[in-house]
Each structure stands twice: as C-alpha cells, then as structure tokens.
Amino acid sequence: MKPDYHVVTLFPEMFAALTDFGVSGRAVKQKLCSVKFWNPRDFTQDNYHSVDDRPFGGGPGMVMLVEPLDLALTAAKTTLLRQGVVSPRMIYLSPQGRRLDQALVLELVSEQALVLLAGRYEGIDERLFARHSIEEVSLGDYVLSGGELPAMVLLDAVIRQIPGALGHAESANEDSFADGLLDCPHYTRPEAYLGLKSPPVLRGGNHAEVTRWRLREALKRTSLRRPDLLEQRKMSPLEIELLGEISREADLE
C-alpha cells in the first residue's frame, strides 16, 4: 500500500507548492504516495462557517473551535479505516512539540498513513487532544502564522525518502544528517570560475580518494557548524583519523 497523507487545513491551496512541484510533486504524480486535504470549514454548522472564537478567560487572538477540527480529523480517520488503516499516526504542528529531525523523518516514512493538523490563530481547543491521540511536532523554537508551512516541510522531508521519489536511489543517503553528519561541499562545471577552482580530487577519477575527501569535509563542516552532532556520534577508526588531521590543520592556521 502506498503511503497516504491527510492534512486538516484551512488553506489547502497552499499545498500546491508541495503536490505540484519538485520531488514531492513528482512523487504524487507518479502515485508513489497520495496527499488529501480536509478543510474544517466544510464541517461547520453555522452560516458563517466559523472555525474560531474568543478564548475563555479573555486574552488576545482567537482559538480554533473543537467541533470542526474533531469532525475533520474523524473524517480522515474514517477514510483510512475503510482502507485498512486502523490507527494512523496523527500529528499537530506546534512549537511545543518534539523537534523534527532526520530520525523522526525516518520514523514517519515507515508509517502507512499520517494525519497532519495545521493549526491557526492562537492554537486549538485543548479538548481535541482528549478526543484523538495526537502528538505534537515542531520545526524549532519560533512561532509561525500557521501550521501549513511546517506541515509542508514535514511532508517534503518524508516524501523524498520514499523509494523511487528521488532520481538516484543513493541521493537520500547522502543528504545532510542522513548518516548523522552535515553534507560535504559540492562542485560542478566549470572547473574554475573567476579564479575559484574546484578540488582536483573530485576530478581525478579515484573513487576511494573522493569518498575519503567527502567524509573528511563532512566531518570538518560538522565540527565547525554543529559540533554537538559529533559529541553523540560513535566514531569509526577512519573518522577518528580524519578528525585528527582536521585538528592539526586548524592548529597550523
């Protein structure tokens, strides 16, 4: 069964950037996965299709109503149940949640289905968590205007991991964080540009040397930009050797 992704959002049209373009758009067109949308406004009971109201206790902003969201999530779950998915993983995009990283992405790509909730305004009525088993996922320690952009980021990261989504099967394995390191620098034609030359090792044809250079540069970049990733890494003998070279090189500068 291909992965089935459902998104509850007030602005499904925003997701055209995901479903119509790039790697994710190609994956959808090739039916490697499907993305469906549920607009809470379609589940409202009043003439104004209200989806928010003032918070109890006062304060600024508005809170999304529990009923339209509850009905939209239930509709998504019911659709998946008919397809044999009993308990889809449900995610609310929120700055209060678990940080999205490559480990979580790899968890999610193994799921048969995901139901994402993109909130708006000051947030959602807390009673929604009592009605559904929802986990919270965050892009980082900052606040956006809504959950649509985080939902698109999450889906893009997951969809590119689906077999066949990328032009080269090994591309996903060479991304930053795929093996716990930042990516190495990349170069293409011309060999020299305005006096800036590409590394000769990449043009020498020795695949073993290229592999060693790329690992060394990935370690160097990670040590400079994200040393925390190295602190939690179990180093191979080659990585220890290369880090020693990098350290000695830095001492000479």
Active site residues: 95, 122, 160, 175
Report residue 103 CA to chain centroid gap: 10
CA distance 121 to 11: 13
Q: Would you say 154 and 102 are in contact if contact means Cβ atoms under 8 Å apart?
A: no
CA distance 212 to 220: 12
In angstroms, what CA-CA distances link 81 with 75, 131, 221?
10, 17, 46
Tally Cβ neighbours within 10 Å of residue 23: 17
CA distance 61 to 1: 42
